[in-house]
């Protein structure tokens, strides 16, 4: 899916919501656990309930790899089931020497069919560029993350007084294009969006951390959007685990619609 197609989906659905598919066997409704593949059953119900209200889904690979064969089968089925009408983000946070990154890209884009993959840029340009050889595929680079530990390294300042995360964003943006690169920017740092938009006014930002982690939706939109919205705001736990009862999918739809209705005011 290219940039214009993504923006068209945002306009059509009046939404820039990304639903994070992080299935946790300890949290899914108990009645699903007797099924052959509870993860797949849970994901299918969530997708069916939320697809009118979102433009993207983000399966986090850790929540599938942890369950071995069953988890990987669920991941494959999930991505295939989502199809072409939604932007699919492989949240794998890959990043290694060039030939390894090439294989990671092949797995995400050719085998699984995702539209984008999250990438850790710590190893530099040659670990990032192999992901960019695919037409209409995206990298989503870790810029400023939403977790508490982001303060350990990402805010370290150099002699020019720019924190490390800003240097990473500037450097990666110089290698790539807004048409194939997004950045992860956590909602828990709303004040940082002003400076980030000065550095990368045209890029899309994937924004985790709204809701359970304390990020405020309206603040992110106010400071982070651009003339094509330029945001994919992720919600995982607040949607997935709105209920543990048999109405879990209906409650997920309700929570998704609430977010979509707020977003619609800005489109």
Catalytic residues: 93
Question: What element of type H or E holds 89?
Answer: strand 87-94
Length of the chain measured in residues = 267
Token pair 């890209």: residue: 105
- Residue 116 is inside which H or E element, if any? strand 116-119
Helix residue ranges per DSSP H, the chain: 3-13, 38-50, 62-65, 68-82, 98-105, 125-128, 150-153, 164-175, 192-199, 217-224, 237-240, 248-264
Task: Round to whole Å and give the CA distance between 20 and 241.
Answer: 11
Burial of 163 (0-12, 13-18, 19+ CB in 10 A): middle
CA–CA dist 113, 174 (Å, integer) = 27
User: SS3 of 112, please?
Assistant: coil
Phi then psi dihedrals of residue 112, to 5 deg: -90, -30
Token couple for 243: 């209920």
**Residue 235's closest CA among 45, 12, 57?**
57
């Amino acid at each position: 899916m290219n940039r214009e197609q993504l923006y068209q989906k945002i306009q059509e659905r009046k939404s820039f919501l990304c639903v994070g598919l992080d299935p946790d066997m300890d949290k899914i409704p108990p009645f699903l656990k007797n099924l052959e593949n509870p993860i797949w059953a849970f994901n299918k119900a969530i997708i069916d309930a939320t697809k009118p209200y979102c433009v993207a889904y983000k399966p986090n690979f850790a929540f599938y790899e942890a369950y071995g064969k069953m988890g990987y089968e669920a991941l494959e089925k999930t991505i295939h089931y989502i199809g072409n009408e939604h932007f699919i983000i492989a949240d794998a946070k890959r990043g290694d020497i060039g030939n390894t990154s090439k294989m990671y890209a092949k797995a995400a884009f050719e085998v699984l069919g995702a539209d984008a993959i999250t990438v850790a840029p710590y190893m530099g340009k040659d670990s990032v560029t192999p992901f960019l050889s695919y037409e209409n595929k995206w990298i989503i680079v870790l810029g400023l993350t939403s977790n508490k530990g982001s303060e350990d390294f990402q805010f370290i300042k150099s002699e020019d007084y720019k924190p490390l995360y800003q240097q990473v964003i500037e450097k990666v943006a110089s290698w790539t294009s807004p048409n194939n690169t997004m950045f992860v920017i956590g909602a828990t740092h709303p004040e940082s969006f002003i400076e980030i938009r000065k550095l990368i006014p045209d890029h899309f930002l994937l924004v985790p951390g709204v809701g359970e982690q304390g990020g405020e939706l309206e603040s992110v939109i106010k400071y982070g959007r651009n003339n094509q919205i330029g945001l994919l705001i992720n919600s995982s736990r607040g949607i997935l685990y709105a209920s543990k009862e048999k109405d879990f999918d209906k409650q997920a739809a309700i929570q998704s619609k609430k977010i979509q209705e707020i977003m619609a005011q800005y489109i």
